Structure 1
């Protein structure tokens, strides 16, 4: 969780308007939950969406692989049983065919389709069930998913309640892959007390 949190803090620092919107939601939920962090997390859909958005732009693992146990047809391609099928998460998360304005950090793209103005940033009429698979899916999904998501959301919530984040440069972060995707150099983030 440390690496996606670095990316999250950086993106919030270079997107102050998004940071403020999420902070206001966090403050309102925190007040309503009377300081109970677990209850407060129930009222912060944009904070939860922030973790999805970070993992879309900067997936920890860059691919999800499966070996189908029976022959399958995917978009008119026949895949024989036992053939490795791989979804490459980094290019998927930055694809214009899957996401509108894919280079932009926009947690609101993950709003529910049922929400007014929703649609999750998918192209019109497209299904979105597999647009967020950073933790894998199905029976082989990462067993630590809920713990990781909870840890990231709680830390971000506490930081946003106490600090304003800023960065000295709004340039994209160069990344490298060393077993996991990570920044080439640690991002410089300034924490200013509120």
Structure 2
């Protein structure tokens, strides 16, 4: 995906507001399955509830330049996710079909985790299993840690120089000096 040039070089303040507004107002319109574009009233209300000053976004009932840019970003994000990302997502039927096909073709030995559902919805975590099978099929015999449950570290001269603060869902070949890390959502 190419970044939208208009938003590419925005200052940290802009992204701090995007993240805060998104968290407090929400990302989707629940029940409608659409991406939310917060209104100025939504933003003012969220800032008021948090005890924050919204005057850089709305001043004397008029939207400011940064307020306009924020709304434009939220509209861009909603449009892009709806029209360019969503059409490429799998549904349950497609995921199950691909999982079944790959399992038959690849005969994997890697872990195939279960989802966290109960009852009739319980079963394989299709997306995670698909990823695991594809990684195993292309690993050329190298080890792979499919569920590290530990922090990753990078070394120089066999001495740790950087450690990540989050645990990841997988690392290749392992968590020390990984070539690739992934987190599955």
With the shorter chain as reference, the TM-score category is under 0.3
TM-score (norm 2): 0.25
Higher helix share: 2
| Higher relative contact order, structure no. (Cα contacts within 8 Å, ≥ 6 residues apart) | 1
**Structure-1-length-normalised TM-score:** 0.24
Q: Is the radius of gyration larger for structure 1 or structure 2?
A: 2
